[in-house]
Amino acid sequence: MAADNAADHSAGRAARELARLSEERVDHRFKGLPPDAEGLTVGELAAQRRNLFTDGFTTPVLALSAERLEHNLALMETYSERHGLAFAPHGKTSMAPQLFARQMERGAWGITLAVPHQVRVARAFGVERIFLANELVDASALRWIAGELDADPSFRFICYVDSVPGVALMDAALREANATRPVDVVVELGAGDGARTGVRTEAECVEIANAVAAADTLRLVGVAGYEGEVPEATPERVRAWLERLTALAVDFDKANRFADLDEVVVSAGGSAWFDAVADVFAQIPELSVPVLKLLRSGAYVSHDDGHYRHLTPFNRVPDEGALHPAFRLWAQVVSRPTPEQAFTNAGKRDAAYDIDLPEAQVVHRGGVDRPATGVTVTGLSDQHGWVRTTPEADLAVGDWVGMGLSHPCTSFDKWQLIPLVEGDGTVTDYIRTYF
């Protein structure tokens, strides 16, 4: 009953905090929004159903396609269900509680996050199951986690461990915090030599599991890792590593490490190899307790016009669908100093630039979109986009250039309130992010 009440309380908090987002004032904090909307609430502005091109929005402005977002949310729900996977989409991509809520409505088990600050955001919006795909040895953060677990029996929290010293630091911090519930941990298996975090050998995994077993403050609930860091990844190498991961789960199960659990967690899966994850996880033999096969892809929400366009597994399994790039960054041409050069007002503050530059796709002038033929973004300053034009380009000062972006994680994080835009330009909502 206590757990039920806490869960109800948490669901109530989620609904209340999401509703409160629509009561936030539109003001100078949020770039791109119409200056003449100053003082309206987000909800009031959304109710006006303004047009992105004609109703006072200023450039640069990032637009998230309502239809494409919906498509992507639905596709990954279907994909996960079809493959018998639980889904904890990586929330670090968007850090948008409204999107977390839509992911949960579409059947997500919970939300994956990367650092404790992100857990605080999710908890503030009532997320009940959080998978922290990272090590956590910060005493202050662990004290806060212990408090959350204590206050809300229905809060499920899982994080990585990959070292005996890390286990000792966790245990010390949780003891110091007088933690009343153990923190659930999974041993992270590293994706190979030179890869990111994670234990390098199965022998070390055993040592760490032993250390966890010896700590009252921790509970071993499974194994996990990130195949996206497999060195020189090929489908074969990724599968080989995933098979190591699932074999580790089997070995731990045989060693009776999961005897007291209701379920074992086996987790992997970024946005580049979830087909391999689905295949290998489907082969996990029956263990002594049910297995929660947890996929963690995050970039699918907005998808992109670059990095993940090339890497998405749907390129290999087109029969299962296709994600649609949902972001378009609109910038205005402010300068056209030569026939070969143009400059927009969107720079590093506005567009992802860590993997690829923005891709000029359309030019908007006088209410009409046309292809951005001969228009190429060649660089970004802090607040300018450098554009090269060929003789066939028709690009003038004042034109809006619509650009595709590469890498959702470094696109979302440059915008705190993102217009959700329908195909005809109507803005129906605003997505708040917390970075």
Touching a copy of itself, residues 9-38 (CB under 8 A):
27-29, 31-32, 34-36
C-alpha distances out from residue 228 to 6, 79, 235, 255, 371, Å: 36, 19, 11, 28, 34
In this complex, which beta carbon is closest to a copy of itself, that of residue 8 or of residue 27?
A: 27
CA distance 26 to 314: 38
Question: Rule CB under 8 A: which of 197-226 touch a copy of itself?
Answer: 197-200
Of residues 378-397, those binding a copy of itself (CB under 8 A) = 381-384, 386, 396-397
Provide the minimum distance between the beta carbon of 347 and a copy of itself in the complex, in angstroms, as a whole number. 8
CB nearer a copy of itself, residue 345 or residue 426: 345
**Positions in 268-327 near a copy of itself (CB under 8 A):** none
Q: Please identify, using beta-carbon distances, which residue of 1 and 28 lies nearer to a copy of itself.
A: 28
Stretch that binds a copy of itself, among 104-112, 306-314, 347-355, 421-429 (CB under 8 A): 347-355
Among 78, 154, 210, 345, binds a copy of itself (CB under 8 A): 345
When asked if residue 48 is in the footprint of a copy of itself (CB under 8 A), the reply is: no
Size of interface with a copy of itself, in residues (CB under 8 A): 71
Is residue 409 at the binding interface for a copy of itself, with CB under 8 A as the rule?
Answer: yes
**Binding to a copy of itself by residue 166, rule CB under 8 A?**
yes
Q: Chain-centre distance of CA 426, in angstroms?
A: 26
Rule CB under 8 A: choose which of 315, 370, 398, 428 binds a copy of itself: 398
Of the candidate residues 48, 58, 180, 315, the single one contacting a copy of itself (CB under 8 A): 58
In Å, how far from its chain's centre is CA 417? 16
Distance in Å, CB of 397 to a copy of itself, minimum: 5
Q: Which of residues 86-145 bind a copy of itself (CB under 8 A)?
A: 92, 114-117, 120-121, 123-124, 134-138, 140-141, 143-144
Is residue 410 part of the contact set for a copy of itself (CB under 8 A)? yes
Q: Minimum Å distance from CB 7 to a copy of itself?
A: 20
By DSSP bridging, strand 417-421 and strand 427-432 are antiparallel
Decide whether 263 or 413 has the Cβ nearer to a copy of itself: 413
| 365: contact with a copy of itself by CB under 8 A | no
Q: Which is nearer to a copy of itself, 182 or 385 (CB)?
A: 385
